[in-house]
């Protein structure tokens, strides 16, 4: 068994603050990816009064072997009250920046695009100063659905690359590397004013050269923001960690990414897709 190094140990959260956020989420019957995917930063983010909301779940139509979100339950019909409940949570938590992600809903013709739009519109109505990031699935390559989401003008369109091309079949068997790049490329073409973002998890057997090549691919499709973090095995049923990457290597990838021209690179062992997501506000409105 690979022993987890000291740099991956997190401080215990202040449960009073965490409890306050959890109370709001339970009261409004909302899911967060923080809880569903066993994120190691849940304490830090909840203490700061932030959360990444998981819509259209909790059941997912895909079974990615790295992910802790439930795929065994049957997906339920979309809840028409979900957007308004989400908007209420944003107001009650006084969020400056909100991240909305979802399970994969390959059972829906638009992959859930319209529900994303409804959530964006509800938040805009109740909290017009809050910036919005959507972390979307690949929509099975439905570019009309992608256009629908982008027409709602979120500040950030995030779609994770997750891993290097060589490992896609093992790590993301129902995904497609080329489709991921195409989604990010089309997002920039459809809505140039929206920042594009993607994330990579490491420690699954990829090489430094492969990570750098993937970063170059992302810049070639004009991706603006990049996150790189250590993969952690959620349970014994999931993919095993191949290697724990030293913080110095994450620093080197950050420096390389900045040289490539990414506007922001968040790279550390505990980085996740939405970690420090609010920092995009420092970039301002894109013209």
Q: What is the DSSP-derived secondary structure letter of residue 216?
A: H
According to DSSP, residue 26 is labeled: H
153-173 average pLDDT score = 95
Tokens 């970039």 belong to 283
- Structural domain boundaries in the chain: 11-281
The mean of the pLDDT values for the chain is 88
156 bridge partner residues: 133, 195
The whole-number pLDDT of residue 255 equals 98
**pLDDT, position 237:** 87
Residue whose structure tokens are 């993969």: 231
Taking residues 250-261, report their average pLDDT.
Answer: 98
**Mean pLDDT on 122-135:** 95
d(CA 143, CA 187): 9
pLDDT band for 135, please (50, 70, 90 cuts). Answer: very high
Task: Tell me if 66 sits within 8 A of 229, measured CB to CB.
Answer: no
Quick one: fold of 11-281? TIM Barrel (3.20.20)
Q: Which of 243, 251, 255, 256 is nearest to 271 (CA)?
A: 251
Pair of tokens at residue 253 = 């990838």
Query: How would you classify the pairing of strands 131-135 and 156-158?
Result: parallel
Q: What is the model's pLDDT at position 11?
A: 58
Q: How confident is the model at residue 34 (pLDDT cuts 50, 70, 90)?
A: low
Q: Crossing angle of helices 177-190/143-151, nearest 10°?
A: 40
Name residue 38's beta-bridge partners: none
Angle at 273 between CA 272 and CA 279, to 5 degrees: 100
**Lowest-pLDDT range of 8-12, 64-68, 116-120, 143-147:** 8-12
pLDDT of residue 285: 65
Q: Which of 83-97, 250-264, 265-279 has the lowest mean pLDDT?
A: 265-279
- Please determine, for residue 5, whether its predicted confidence score (pLDDT) is greater than 90: no
Instruction: For residues 87-95, give the mean pLDDT.
Output: 90
Res 39 pLDDT > 80: no
- Residues 117 and 95: their CA atoms lie apart, in Å, by 19
Is beta strand 97-102 parallel, antiparallel or unpaired with respect to 131-135? parallel
Residue 95 has pLDDT above 80, yes or no: yes
Confidence at residue 287, expressed as pLDDT on a 0 to 100 scale? 59
Q: Is the pLDDT of residue 85 over 60?
A: yes
pLDDT of residue 63: 80
Question: What percent of the chain is predicted at pLDDT more than 90?
Answer: 62
Identify whether the C-beta of residue 276 lies closer than 8 Å to the C-beta of residue 266.
yes
Cis amide leading into 58 (omega within 30): yes
Condensed to tens digits (0 to 9), the pLDDT of residues 18-30 reads: 566 777 777 887 8
Q: What percent of the chain has pLDDT over 70?
A: 86
DSSP string, 102-134: E---TTSTTTTHHHHHHHHHHHHHH-TT-EEEE
Confidence class for position 235, pLDDT limits 50, 70, 90: confident
């Amino acid at each position: 068994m690979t022993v987890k190094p000291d740099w991956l140990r997190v401080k215990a959260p202040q449960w009073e603050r965490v409890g306050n956020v959890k109370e709001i989420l339970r009261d409004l019957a909302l899911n967060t990816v923080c809880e569903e995917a066993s994120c190691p930063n849940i304490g830090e983010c909840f203490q700061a009064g932030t959360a990444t909301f998981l819509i259209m779940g909790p059941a997912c139509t895909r079974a990615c072997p790295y992910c802790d979100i439930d795929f065994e339950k049957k997906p339920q019909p979309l809840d028409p009250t979900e957007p308004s409940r989400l908007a209420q949570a944003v107001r009650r938590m006084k969020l400056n920046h909100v991240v909305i992600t979802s399970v994969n809903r390959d059972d829906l013709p638009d992959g859930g695009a319209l529900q994303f739009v409804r959530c964006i519109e509800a938040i805009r109505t109740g909290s017009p100063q809050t910036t919005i990031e959507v972390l979307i699935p690949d929509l099975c390559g439905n570019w009309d659905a992608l256009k629908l989401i982008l027409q709602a003008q979120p500040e950030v369109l995030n779609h994770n690359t997750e891993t290097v091309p060589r490992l896609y079949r093992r790590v993301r068997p129902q995904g497609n590397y080329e489709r991921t790049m195409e989604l990010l490329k089309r997002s920039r073409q459809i809505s140039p004013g929206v920042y594009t973002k993607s994330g990579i998890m490491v420690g699954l057997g990829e090489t430094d050269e492969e990570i750098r090549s993937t970063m170059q691919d992302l810049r070639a499709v004009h991706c603006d923001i990049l996150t790189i973090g250590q993969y952690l095995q959620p349970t014994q049923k999931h993919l095993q960690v191949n290697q724990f990457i030293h913080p110095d290597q994450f620093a080197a990838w950050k420096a390389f990414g900045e040289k490539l021209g990414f506007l922001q690179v968040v790279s550390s062992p505990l980085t996740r897709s939405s970690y420090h997501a609010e920092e995009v506000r420092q970039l301002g409105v894109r013209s």
